[in-house]
Amino acid sequence: MTVKIGRNDPCWCGSGLKYKKCHEAFDTKLETYRRKGVPVLDRSLIKTPGQVEKIRESCKINIAVLDYVAEHIKAGISTREIDDWVHSVTVRHGGIPAPLDYNGFPKSVCTSIDDVVCHGIPSDDEILKEGDIINVDVSTIYNGYFSDSSRMFMIGNVSPEKERLVRVTKECMEKGLEKVMPWTPIGNMGHAVHQHALSNGYTVVRDIGGHGVGLEFHEDPWVSYVSEENSGVLMVPGMIFTIEPMVNMGSDEIWTDEDDGWTVRTEDGLPSAQWEIMVLVTETGHEVLCW
């Protein structure tokens, strides 16, 4: 709930300034959009400068973990070894792997190879081989604050078709990022992602999207990457969310493994790729916090 405060009271953002000198104009502008019927986030999900700094610390660990994976991943290792790396590096930096035991997820990281769209569970039996593409999705809790990002890795020499999918998927993410600007609808970002994928002959998964993040692992808003322009929640300074399109070489249809309840695969068995970054909306544009 948003609590009304006096103009001379300390601002809710923790700056120490009076409300009228700090976020009064921001809140007034937000309320104007709300009254026009534009979807806006509750103020509790707008991060204060102090919260952003704490989230940055979590992001530093998340980036360090993925950097370690990038330095060591290769053919012949198991995805269980990747899980061991992620867990040990995260803990060594004072963090907690956010996926571990999240709604029953059994490991510290998601490892998704080829036709696995997302939520792949690391295993001793799953050995990386030449030509694989894999998404490693890392999420970290540090002092109660959350970070989340993922990268694609190409194992050895991959086919031109897979290389192109990985490259174009990263371009989709970058095209979306270009549309992250304050006081514009988030649908513009998702639309840019979708159009770039379609123009390259690919599809984007519709049923799984991005999310707000920082104070919790998954917050509002849910983020679509097949959205229409000028739709969705208003992006405003202090908002943090992920850009993480899942781009398929074939159909956008997917299915979830009933045996483990987590692993999501493409319906047609063709490869899928995903890159994920964590973005802060600023007064002038955006800042990538985690990659």
Distances (CA, A) of 179 to 29, 140, 235: 20, 26, 10
The answer to whether 23 and 29 have CB atoms below 8 angstroms apart is: no
The answer to whether 290 and 242 have CB atoms below 8 angstroms apart is: no
Q: What pLDDT does residue 3 have?
A: 62
The 10s digit of each residue's pLDDT in 123-156 is: 999 999 999 999 999 999 999 999 999 999 999 9
pTM over 0.75: yes
Minimal CA–CA distance to 99: which of 45, 136, 46? 136
User: DSSP string of 219-255?
Assistant: EEEEE-SSPPTT-SSEE-TT-EEEE--EEESS-S-EE
Average pLDDT score over residue span 148-166: 98
The 10s digit of each residue's pLDDT in 105-125 is: 999 999 999 999 999 999 999
The 10s digit of each residue's pLDDT in 252-279 is: 999 999 999 999 999 999 999 999 999 9
Average pLDDT score over residue span 60-81: 98
- Percent of the residues in the chain that have a pLDDT greater than 90, as a whole number: 97
Average pLDDT score over residue span 229-245: 98
Average pLDDT, the chain: 97
The 10s digit of each residue's pLDDT in 274-288 is: 999 999 999 999 999
76: buried, middle or exposed (CB in 10 Å: 19+, 13-18, 0-12)?
A: exposed
- Residue 1 predicted with pLDDT over 70: no
CA gap 186, 166 in Å, rounded? 24
All domains of the chain in start order, with CATH: 43-290 (3.90.230.10)
The 10s digit of each residue's pLDDT in 184-208 is: 999 999 999 999 999 999 999 999 9
Average pLDDT score over residue span 53-78: 98
Average pLDDT score over residue span 172-180: 98
The answer to whether 194 and 206 have CB atoms below 8 angstroms apart is: no
Please list the residues that pair with 240 across neighbouring strands. 280
Q: What pLDDT does residue 169 have?
A: 98
Q: Is 269 left (phi over 0), alpha (psi -120 to 50) or beta?
A: left
- Residue 2 predicted with pLDDT over 60: no
Q: What pLDDT does residue 5 have?
A: 86
